[in-house]
Amino acid sequence: MPLVKRKLFIPCSGEECLKLYELLRDKMPPVNYVSLNLMDKGLLIEVYGYETDVKETWFLIKRLLAPLKEASKKSGLRRISVDLISKSIHGTFPLRAFIEVLKRMNYLVEYSVEENTIITNASFEVVVSIASRIASLNSEASKVASNTSTRYYLAAASIITGLSIDKVIEASLTIGFLTQDQSGKYVLTRDWRTALDLFIKATKK
């Protein structure tokens, strides 16, 4: 069976190139030779091996690139897979809280359950940044929150208002949105989305 070589140049820049490089590097199947070269204006991919292996590798590369191409569109709605977001932040994130935060930051956002994909007009950079921040804050909130909805409220309120988790708790206790259970952890007194909207409104006064 003959050995073949294929090249593909993908235009990208900065952080976008690095994320693409990491995504492809982690997913490449074993072939005789795969080269991923970061260049000034993009990523150069070279694949060398048996023809059937190269074709399979090329198919995988195109499949991995599809959601990224959607994510890097300059305008309009884009489709960004949740898997791609998770890979970009090297971890998981609370999807429901993430969606509610984007909505309250005046972005259009929907979630396709069938495709496990976010549909939004937020840029890929914004999506990754918010997902990373809410993952971190959700972890921080888990130490003081009694349940999931309280965690989501604390993390989302912190991102949107710019206040620390401690400041959000302090203000929420004052206006009666939080109480403490027998273990000393905090519990919301109402639906977390309703409380979030009221808290945002209160902090703007």
Lookup: tokens for 74: 């300059």
User: Residue 3: pLDDT above 60?
Assistant: yes
Question: What's the pTM?
Answer: 0.67
User: Residue 93: pLDDT above 90?
Assistant: yes
Cα distance between residue 56 and residue 43, in whole Å: 20
User: Residue 66: pLDDT above 80?
Assistant: no
Residue ranges covered by each domain of the chain: 1-72, 139-204
State mean pLDDT over 87-100: 94
User: Residue 31: pLDDT above 60?
Assistant: no
Tell me the CA distances in angstroms from 119 to 28, 79, 127, one per residue in order.
27, 5, 11
State mean pLDDT over 97-122: 90
Torsion angles phi and psi, residue 2, rounded to 5: -70, 150
The CATH label, of 3.30.310.50, 3.20.20.210, 3.30.1540.10, 2.30.40.10, for the domain at 1-72 is 3.30.310.50
CB neighbourhood size of 178 (10 A): 24
Burial of 204 (0-12, 13-18, 19+ CB in 10 A): exposed
Read off the pLDDT of residues 38-50 as tens digits, 9 standing for 90 and up.
777 777 888 777 7
Strand 3-11 relative to strand 78-81: parallel, antiparallel, unpaired?
Answer: unpaired
Cα distance between residue 170 and residue 176, in whole Å: 10
User: Residue 65: pLDDT above 80?
Assistant: no
Q: Where does the pLDDT of residue 137 fall: very low under 50, low under 70, confident under 90, or very high at 90 and above?
A: very high
- The percentage of the chain sitting over the pLDDT mark of 90, rounded to a whole number, equals 48
Q: What angle do CA 164, 98, 185 make, to 5 degrees?
A: 50
User: Residue 21: pLDDT above 90?
Assistant: no
Read off the pLDDT of residues 162-200 as tens digits, 9 standing for 90 and up.
999 999 999 999 999 999 999 999 999 999 999 999 999
